[in-house]
Chains A and B, each alone.
Chain A
Amino acid sequence: MKREILLGDEAVGLGAVHAGISGVYGYPGTPSTEIFEFVESIAKKTGDIHAFWSTNEKVAYEEALGMSWAGKRALVTMKHVGLNVAADAFMNSAITGTNGGLVLAVADDPGMHSSQNEQDSRYFAKFAQIPCFEPGTQQECYDMVAEALDLSEELTVPVMLRLVTRIAHSRSAVEVTSTPRKQNPLHPTREIHKWTLLPSNARVQYKLLTEKQPELLRRAEASRHNRLELRGKHGVIACGITWNYLLENLPDNHDFSILRIGQYPIPAGKVRELVDHVDDVLVLEDGYPFVEEMLRGPFGLERAVVKGRLSGELPRTGELNPDLVRDAMGLEPQGGLELPTAPANRPPTLCPGCPHHDTYLALNEAVAEYDKPQVFSDIGCYTLGALPPLEAIHSCVDMGASIGMASGAAHAGYHPAIAVIGDSTFAHGGMTSLLSAVQQHVDVNVVILDNETVAMTGTQHSMATDETLDRIVLGLGVEADHLRVITPLPKHHDENVQVFREELAHKGPSVIIARRACVEKVKRHR
């Protein structure tokens, strides 16, 4: 055993390496990014783990599934909304089952520190009917990923490891093994029917999945991560990281009866035992009221005795913390100082010299000739262009949405229909919508901000930049005359405005690529 200082994310990565993965897959997304990057840093030294960012989460998931099919272990990582993109592959991988162990480490973002929503991935695990582990400490991040890989291999199902921001991005010392497990040899599956989900096969496979459920439940009931301690008549169920917030506030000689949940499906037997023992039960979950909602339903409890986010003891939305938990437990608040507060806000901004800034200045000037046009956009550093003083863009929904939405608005007669999208976002989710727009000859102007990197999440490798990007755009059918490339620099401002003007006047699809490297990338990769 050795001790290492690790982020929760890094502990997951190292745990997976020590459990013998042969590949890590993923698309960057806060707060999951460091899982992949940690494995990547090890893979660079050892050379025996495949580690290359994928184009998007769906691709990543499918690559991981292929690794599993071949009999080796794979870890696939993404943020919560990434799982929406990978959902088709994910749901169906529960039906095919796995060969080598397959673990999906997905990081949720309660409180939306860096996300558009705070969806709770435990619903996805339940939806797919697969086991889910939910670590509360960095040590558990390390330990659980190995357990999850073992379980996946033994029961031939993919297994989810659900993290939240506070565990993903918090460091502590972790005991790690000095005798890592060897990687699996190549042993591809021969069970073709399992992997060919024609309806006739799929029905059989789906039935097999449902028949595994009692075993999954037995494992959860017996899991060391689901511990029940009965004391007094007030009950608490603490899921994942909320266990820490509970312990932080628990007096030494407390009288609470407590069930800790770290492995799903929900251990129904233990829940029943707790519920039969207490008068009321407070449910602590950093995410949606997933367990709480179940308790109100199938377990037939009176509404009054289940406390949590739905009953108002805890806020319905947002991240939990020790103070909110303390309050919900009915304990005295530990007040702070009353000193002047509420200083001026300091929101994030584009870096000085950022190429997006120059592109937006030119775009703003060109569109000023129209009647306050709304510009569709997407997710990346460039989303900061929505804030003052630029206020250049007016939508941000999901990765790639800008092009589809601009097309839909154009169908409705909206003009000018402009989509502003980053190079990595374009590769992730924009290419297919541009193909549609070209095929339908929609009057849209797509501005691709090619800063040659995935900047927002830390300047990772981008799949579609420079000539590759130009060739993709032409390959999708955009006419060469209406593929324009500009260099967003103050000295080119006037000519750039002119390019925007010309393309806005053109009827039909056009693409303007604003190409200049992210200054942060240049700094980091020097």
Chain B
Amino acid sequence: MEKNLILAGVGGQGILSIAFVLDNAAVRAGYTFKQAEVHGMSQRGGAVQSNLRYADHEIYSDLIPGGRVDVVLSVEPLEVERYWKMLAPDGWVVSSVTPYVNIPDYPPEDELLAQLTSYSNTILVDAGKIAKAAGTLKAQNMAVLGAASPLLDFTDDQLLEFVNVLFSRKGERVVQLNERAYRFGKAAGLFFRGLIDAGIEPRLALDLSRKMDPSTVDPGLAPRWAKRLKGEPDAVRALLAQEGDIACGQEQ
């Protein structure tokens, strides 16, 4: 077993916090790991990334060879595109769709989402919305980690243990907000995939899962929503056009 991840985002979005959790979980689980990161100039609001590798055998290179990336895990949608070409043929993209706009030529949202959804192995979540619902916008990184967790080789407890270690210095409340963001993120990601696996096209799956109140999302309901999308598309579209969030269980 060997997993190669690229963690991506913008300086200040907490890429290294994700790395901290995964590094420690990997060591605790008895894996070897190497994780190269970016310090210095680019941390000032520039594009940042980290190469994270863990395995049950020795890892040599600190940098992942081209074409061997299993997961691009990005806290920002535009940043994903820098790493497409490093993905293995069956690699995955897990990304937030919440844009971080600090450049003048940031692409229009529709264009960006069209590109992201053109690739089949994706888990897309609205980390900004999820983190806000969890209680702090800062926890977007943990929401994306939660969304990616089904692709990794750790249980929730194995990861959350180090979310706890990471934030315990800041108090129990901060720990809980981050844990919540992780769980909401995981549910949102599974719900999104559930829709896709039930044959819903990705853009619609994203729109619907984004519309949900993050605290209500239940991946187990995805097949029923998919059925409804197919059976009464107009009703669902009307629902999507409504103001405000919808509760995942509302139409049962």
Residues of A that sit less than 8 Å from B by CB: 3, 5, 7, 30-31, 33-34, 113-114, 166-167, 169-173, 241, 244-245, 247-249, 321-323, 326, 333-351, 381, 384, 456-457
Contact = CB atoms under 8 A, between A and B. Distances in A.
Interface stretch (B28-36, B181-189, B191-199): B28-36
B137 interface: no
B22 to A, nearest CB: 11
B238 interface: no
Contact of B40 (A30, A337, A341): A30
A346 B65 contact: no
B86 interface: yes
A171 B46 contact: no
A335 to B, nearest CB: 5
Contact of B62 (A170, A249, A346): A170
A245 B59 CA distance: 10
A348 B65 contact: no
A337 B85 contact: yes
Given A172-B33, A340-B115, A349-B102, A114 B40 contact: yes
A345 B84 CA distance: 15
A344 B103 contact: yes
B39 A351 contact: no
B202 to A, nearest CB: 15
Given A336-B66, A336-B84, A341-B81, 5 more contacts: A33-B39, A337-B89, A337-B91, A343-B78, A348-B42
A242 to B, nearest CB: 10
Contacts of B86: 336
Contacts of A345: 47, 103
21 contacts: A5-B24, A113-B40, A166-B62, A169-B38, A170-B34, A171-B19, A173-B27, A173-B33, A248-B61, A321-B63, A322-B61, A322-B63, A336-B69, A339-B85, A339-B118, A340-B115, A341-B81, A341-B82, A341-B85, A344-B107, A348-B42
A167 B215 CA distance: 42
Nearest to B82: A343
Q: Which 6 A-B pairs have CB atoms at the shortest separation, nearest pair first?
A: A30-B40, A114-B40, A348-B46, A339-B84, A170-B36, A343-B81
Contact of A248 (B37, B44, B60): B60
Which of the listed residues A170, A334, A349 has the most CB atoms from chain B within 10 Å of its own CB?
Answer: A170
Contacts of A338: 85
B107 A5 contact: no
Contacts of A30: 39-41
B23 interface: yes
A33 B239 CA distance: 54
Nearest to B85: A336
Nearest to B10: A346
Interface string B83-100: 011111101000000000
B150 interface: no
Contacts of B216: none
Contact of A337 (B10, B39, B60, B87): B87
Which of the listed residues B27, B36, B103 has the most CB atoms from chain A within 10 Å of its own CB?
Answer: B36
B11 interface: yes
Nearest to B115: A340
Contacts of A3: 27
Which of the listed residues A241, A335, A343 has the most CB atoms from chain B within 10 Å of its own CB?
Answer: A343
B46 A334 contact: no
Contacts of A337: 67, 84-85, 87, 89, 91
A351 B27 contact: no
Nearest to A321: B63
Contacts of A113: 38, 40-42
A64 B43 CA distance: 31
A113 B198 CA distance: 45
B23 A349 contact: no
Contact of B105 (A247, A321, A344): A344
Which of the listed residues B11, B65, B78 has the most CB atoms from chain A within 10 Å of its own CB?
Answer: B65
B151 to A, nearest CB: 17
Contacts of A248: 60-61, 65
A349 B46 contact: yes
Contacts of A344: 78, 103, 105-107
Contact of B36 (A166, A173, A334): A166
B39 A166 contact: no
A171 B35 contact: yes
B40 A5 contact: no
B249 interface: no
B119 interface: yes
Given A166-B36, A351-B44, A334 B65 contact: yes
